[in-house]
Structure 1
Amino acid sequence: MLEKQRHQLLLEILEEQQFASVADLTAQLNSSEATIRRDLIKLSKEGRLEKIRGGAQRIGNRPAGAPKTHLAGSAFLVNKDKMTTAKQAIAAKAVSLCEEGELVIVNGGSSTFMMGEYLTQRDVSVLTNSYYLAQYLCENGQNQVTVPSGEIYRKQGIILSPFENDSIQNYRCRLMFTGTAGIGEFGVMETDSLIVRAEQKLRRQSEKLVVLADGSKLGQKSNFVIYPLTEVDILITDDTADPRVIEQIEAAGVEVITVELEALAA
């Protein structure tokens, strides 16, 4: 991650939390303590945050009733570099489900972003709220790409519309692909109510829901249940996933496709 990107994310974390410790920033930004301390010193000198013992805090308070400008959850640029081998294998399997010439919906996220490499090799049109995926497809392929109108949330790299009536309602497709903060017996989970609302709006335009989740996501819980398992058609995961959680998901009628990472490495 570039220094400029890391600084932007650091400031957005302070915007959400008002205060963050060095340890917290190190974990959220997947950086070393030395790097974070250098960042805090530099941003403090620039007057963009207040450096205090053990961490930093936002300068000033957000006015009461001010509109929400950030989404809860980890940053795309951090997540993108985690579990990359599993995500790539899962993404390749996901794209293999697409038919030539069809339109698919791809929800924003680090797992679904990995589909871009394989989508550029296919004659598939894409409707996506992922700023990063749309950019990748436009720069590297010939896919027809459509994005909804709305505001860009930089931390997650997604486009969300505050309006119910937008361009999304004019599209209809067979498959929608989405990542998740966690999936298990309670269903598919997410971190922010705005993400839930936006994704459910996309879901209404598709016939089947395909969830991409590496093994670390199975059994994980988050703030919001976006879909019960009965609304999931296919889950694509890897062979590091807990077999007990897979059994729970299959018992709900979900088709589980497991990619074998060891075989892929061999």
Structure 2
Amino acid sequence: MHLQDRWKLIIDELNPDRVTSVDELTARLGVSPATIRRDLNELHDLGHLLRVRGGAMRIEGKHFTAKAEAKTPDFQTDSLTGQSSFLASTIVNAPVKRAIARAALDYLKPGISMIIDGGSTTYTMANMMANEPYHVLTTSIPILQCLLDRSKVKVTLPGGELFREQRIILNPYEDGMLQNFSAAKMFIGCQALTRNGLMQSDTLLVQSERRLMERADQVIVLADSSKIDAPASLSVCPLTAIDVVITDEGLTDSAREWLEHAGIEVRIAPVTAEDRKASEVV
């Protein structure tokens, strides 16, 4: 059973008026209790159910459906141009994203301030962060949610308009608060990474990310190899504005060459058995 299919079945089994237990879901779906608990935790972090002791409850009005052709979750809500829904993105290349996210943690140290841009790989990174005295500015609602229980992490969320599919807040106007924020590092994903630089497909997203980059001393791009030379129409920044790219073993030799030629540190994150198990298809 594919992960997205299992998530749909889990939410379909839930009731807004009572707790559906882990044991019930285990019996109905035929998977291990550990898998069910992990799914419930992830779906809770993504805002698709309410996790309670021993099980979960449906959130009124939440439904999880799949497009017949694309086989990705379909949310008919406001969205950015050319961007997949956040939930759909979390499913694609999940083991690789876990490996990249884990490698990104090596660039953290207690006490630093950082910007974590919205996206599925940056969300995975935030979900792995320890409870240390960091200051995080993020545009991502899921990242905010997963950091709520880390009492030592100070979180700043800029104001703006909510884009529900991508679960991010963007502001088309100058933000006075942002002008006063200074970050040692910015962690950012992308639609594509090409010889023309870091690319996206929505003008508002481009404007927001350019402003965020101005506030960071170091820009670290988290991009699995499927993003290298992928199609995208709008440039956020040239390669020379990027300090580090963390990607996977699918990166070609030629792509590594032009990245390093631009002065970028390229970090390859190998996928482990633990990464595959955490994103397993059962």
TM-score band w.r.t. shorter chain? 0.7 to 0.9
- 2:269 counterpart of 1:259: yes
Task: Identify the residue that residue 15 of structure 1 maps to in structure 2.
Answer: none
Q: How far 1:115 sits from its partner (Å)? A: 1.0
How many residues were matched structurally?
217
Aligned-residue RMSD, C-alpha: 2.5
Task: Identify the residue that residue 162 of structure 2 maps to in structure 1.
Answer: 152
Q: Say which of 111, 117, 130 aligns to 1:107.
A: 117
Q: Report the 3-state secondary structure (helix = DSSP H, G, I; strand = E; otherwise coil) of the residue aligned with 1:133.
A: helix
- 2:246 counterpart of 1:236: yes
Q: Report the 3-state secondary structure (helix = DSSP H, G, I; strand = E; otherwise coil) of the residue aligned with 2:104.
A: helix
Distance change >3 Å, CA 195–CA 143, structure 1 → 2: same
TM-score, normalisation: structure 2:
0.70
Task: Identify the residue that residue 71 of structure 1 maps to in structure 2.
Answer: 80
Q: Report the 3-state secondary structure (helix = DSSP H, G, I; strand = E; otherwise coil) of the residue aligned with 2:250.
A: coil
Q: Say which of 84, 91, 94 aligns to 2:94.
A: 84
**Aligned ranges 1:99-138 → 2 under 5 Å:** 99-138=109-148
Counterpart amino acid of 1:249?
Answer: L
Q: Report the 3-state secondary structure (helix = DSSP H, G, I; strand = E; otherwise coil) of the residue aligned with 1:114.
A: helix
Q: What are the Cα deviations for residues 175-234 of structure 1, in whole angstroms up to 9, with x where unaligned?
A: 011000111212111110000001111111111110000111112120211111111110
Q: Say which of 226, 229, 245 aligns to 1:219.
A: 229
Runs in 1 of length 4+ with deviation above 6 angstroms? 263-266
Q: Say which of 48, 58, 72 aligns to 1:30.
A: 72
Task: Decide whether the 8 Å contact of 2:99 with 2:272 is kept in 1.
Answer: no
Distance change >3 Å, CA 5–CA 191, structure 1 → 2: farther
Q: Report the 3-state secondary structure (helix = DSSP H, G, I; strand = E; otherwise coil) of the residue aligned with 1:198.
A: helix
Q: How far 1:243 sits from its partner (Å)? A: 2.1
Task: Decide whether the 8 Å contact of 2:127 with 2:143 is kept in 1.
Answer: no
**Aligned ranges 1:161-172 → 2 under 5 Å:** 161-172=171-182
Q: Say which of 185, 196, 202 aligns to 2:195.
A: 185
TM-score, normalisation: structure 1:
0.74
- Distance (whole Å) between structure 1 residues aligned to residue 111 and residue 225 of structure 2: 31
Which protein has greater RCO, CA pairs closer than 8 Å, 6+ apart? 2
Range moving further from structure 2, 101-110 or 255-264: 255-264
